[in-house]
Amino acid sequence: MSRMYLPWNASKARQRDAQRARENRAEIIRELSWGRVSRRDLIKWGVFTSAGLLAPIGGLNPFVRTAWADGEGIPRSPLFGAQPFTQPMPRFDVLERQSMDTKPMSPICMPEANTTPIKVADELGGGWGPCEGRPPGAVWAHQHFDDFYPKTWVEATQAPATTNTRYNPRVPKELNSEIDPAAPIPLRFHPDMPVQFDTSVWTFNGTIPPKLVLGRYGEPMLFRHHNGLPADCKKNGGFGRHTISTHEHNGHHGAENDGFTGAYFFPGQFYDYHWPIVLAGHNTINKFATDDKAGAPDGNGQVARIPGDWRETMSTHWFHDHMFSFTAQNVYKGNAAMFNLYSALDRGNEEIDDRNHVNLRLPSGTRDDWGNLDYDVNLMLADKAWDRDGQLMFDIFNFDGFLGDVMTVNLAYKPFFQVERRKYRFRILNASVARFFKLALADTLGQAQEFVQIANDGNLLPRPVPLLATDEMGIAERYDIIIDFSKYAVEDSLYLVNLCEHEDGRGPDGNLSLAAALSGRSADPCVGAFLEFKIVREPLKTDKSQIPEVMIENPDLSQIKVARERVFRFGRGAKESGRYRKTMGEGPWGISVDGGDKMDANYNRISAAPKFGTREVWHLVNDGGGWDHPIHIHFEEGQILARNGSFANVPLTERGRKDVYRLRPGGSVTITMQFRDWGGMFMEHCHNTTHEDNAMLLRWEINGGGDPFLKPLPSPIPTPHGVTFEDPE
Ligand SMILES: [Cu+2]
């Protein structure tokens, strides 16, 4: 297979041809994003083969062997002379939490969608439509809203790129590489690079750094998401869709808050997401809240107990767009944020020793009772690409997956981060479209340095795992690691290095040794060092943090019988079926259930309906072909029982709870999950979002048999003038 990106020293003529081909592809993406052509049209016209491969047309396909004897390629993103490790890495921008008591929302949030009419933009058909895009009526009302009435609320507006004039990193500037929070932050990936157009990047509040929400168990939250994107779908810089649906990635809550792919909303509308932040099992386990480990920071150094299973405590989440067929483009364009959840165990204070010594005292800080970010740092990794003018662009090579050629951390090109000589926690998110990372830590001599993984996805592991390199981190996975910088000297530097080489979007092509990755000889521009840690001083205060020997043991499933097993096969060559075009995805990718045909996504089709209150075992099988698929199952954490048929194949770092399961080429994963507390329609899909958008997604539903959940739930069909419903298939 080809090397995707051209080397810098490729001939001028070759670069020109590659540039022309890329511009042609950009036109195709633009027409798709404007809805003027469909993937079906492209296949009909021969631009794509039915297998999802860009047809061998000169001037289009980067892999067509044209005049160039040594192959093919994609033009590199210009760097405008920017050098790596010359800009500080900004910490996340924390969204303000409002108290429902002292500052109620306006309009107030309600159990059912707010259907108060507002004017609909002419581009969307004019007239009047509901102010909230949530599907109306009792079936989409917030479940148990009164039981978990919001105590705090947070709001944000999805908006075109603009300058940030109210950055709140929630740490003093000496803990943020001396970035002055009062200085306006233009939206650009490096000070030497051009400012992004308002059509190129769409983020939360239209600004960088990426946003962070702090949540606490026992403190239900209402997240009001406004859609401030252009009403004219053509004002998108050629990619990205202006309708959105926001998925709180692995929130344990009702389907109406899950960012269901078909429950999207339009420019001018908002959507109220109710995040109750509860422990799974709260209706059946520790019902009377008697266990200190099941708790929340009480604001006073102690624990406020809550019902549920403390072994289901979650820590590091993110939220992102889940728009049907446009998730890859929208997330890539900026619809990605992080969400830290604080609990009695993981309270974000490294000093507090509560009465039963529940606090694990992970690196964080000491100033506040909970949620200290001083030494607890979110890192969002993403590969990007831009056009000749330096504007963000989305390319389409085939349906394997989009790869960028520029590494960013927190949307900054290869930055540095200043640290003290002490322990830090890093919450690392892979926010790419199709790229995997394998991370190592190197000193300036290129020697691998040890770090400790403490969490996988949203979940603290049973025990910390010391590592010299992470596993191949799939898209949407989160790995929390602790690095102990006290082993080094002031003025030393360390580097975070990507060892995982891609030749295309199929999945990792191979992992390089640290020396090879650092040599700069990989044809993959995203291999190598991408973040520098500069040790700038002794700790300002004594490091009180710990790396505990035991963190969160897995929930005990021994008494819960397995109600049913199901087999899901993920692969190519899917069939289409459905009654309504609007709910059907198109693409080469699909999922077969229990030996049936492999099917394209159709969010009106229910592919599995586990019974409320039961536990099941699901076998996730890769249908082969060399692709890897990081499979995400919404709703509740699962446990991996086997990889390729055996528990012995499950690495230590995957022996906690998970919400993304990498199948690896030809591999299979057996998991177990429970279906409790909440109901409605949820999803299962590949989180290589190119695969997801090209139909590797299905809907499953928690079946309450009519009680407490209507069965089956009607599917929403959103329009700017209101949501209609169809009976599911
Ligand atoms: Cu996939």
Sequence length of the chain is: 729
Of these ranges, 18-32, 414-428, 575-589, the one predicted with the greatest mean pLDDT is 414-428
**Beta-strand relationship, 303-305 and 406-409:** unpaired
Mean pLDDT over all residues of the chain?
Answer: 94
CA of 504 to the centre of ligand 1 (A): 13
Question: Which residues have C-beta within 8 Å of that of residue 505, sequence separation ≥ 6?
Answer: 397, 398, 400, 401, 402, 403, 433, 434, 435, 688, 690
Q: How far apart are CA 201 and CA 429, in angstroms?
A: 19
CA of 698 to the centre of ligand 1 (A): 13
CA of 598 to the centre of ligand 1 (A): 14
**C-alpha torsion sign, points 258, 281, 357, 463:** negative
pLDDT tier, 712 (very low <50, low <70, confident <90, very high otherwise) = confident
CA of 574 to the centre of ligand 1 (A): 13
CA of 185 to the centre of ligand 1 (A): 36
Q: 99-158: per-residue pLDDT in tens?
A: 999 999 999 999 999 999 999 999 999 999 999 999 999 989 999 999 999 999 999 999
Give exposure, 243-271, as e/b (b: 16+ Cβ within 10 Å): bbbbbbbbbbbbbbbbbbbbbbbbbbbbb
Q: 274-304: per-residue pLDDT in tens?
A: 999 999 999 999 999 999 999 999 999 999 9
**Beta-strand relationship, 451-456 and 478-484:** antiparallel
CA of 474 to the centre of ligand 1 (A): 10
pLDDT at residue 708 in the model: 62
pLDDT at residue 3 in the model: 64
CA of 386 to the centre of ligand 1 (A): 24
Least Cα distance to 525 among 73, 22, 192, 24 occurs for 73
CA of 396 to the centre of ligand 1 (A): 16
CA of 197 to the centre of ligand 1 (A): 31
Q: How far apart are CA 135 and CA 138, in angstroms?
A: 9
CA of 697 to the centre of ligand 1 (A): 9
CA of 237 to the centre of ligand 1 (A): 27
Q: How far apart are CA 599 and CA 586, in angstroms?
A: 10
pLDDT at 69 over 60: no
CA of 628 to the centre of ligand 1 (A): 6
Least confident of 111-115, 213-217, 456-460, 583-587: 583-587
CA of 651 to the centre of ligand 1 (A): 21
CA of 432 to the centre of ligand 1 (A): 13
CA of 239 to the centre of ligand 1 (A): 21
φ, ψ at 330 (rounded to 5°): -70, -40
For 186, counting Cβ atoms within 10 Å of its Cβ (0-12 exposed, 13-18 middle, 19+ buried), the class is middle
Please say whether the beta carbons of 200 and 391 come within 8 A: yes
CA of 293 to the centre of ligand 1 (A): 37
CA of 486 to the centre of ligand 1 (A): 40
State the average pLDDT over residues 367-396. 96
CA of 661 to the centre of ligand 1 (A): 11
CA of 475 to the centre of ligand 1 (A): 10
Give exposure, 582-604, as e/b (b: 16+ Cβ within 10 Å): ebbbbbbbbbbbeeeebbbbbbb
pLDDT tier, 17 (very low <50, low <70, confident <90, very high otherwise) = confident
CA of 686 to the centre of ligand 1 (A): 4
CA of 597 to the centre of ligand 1 (A): 17
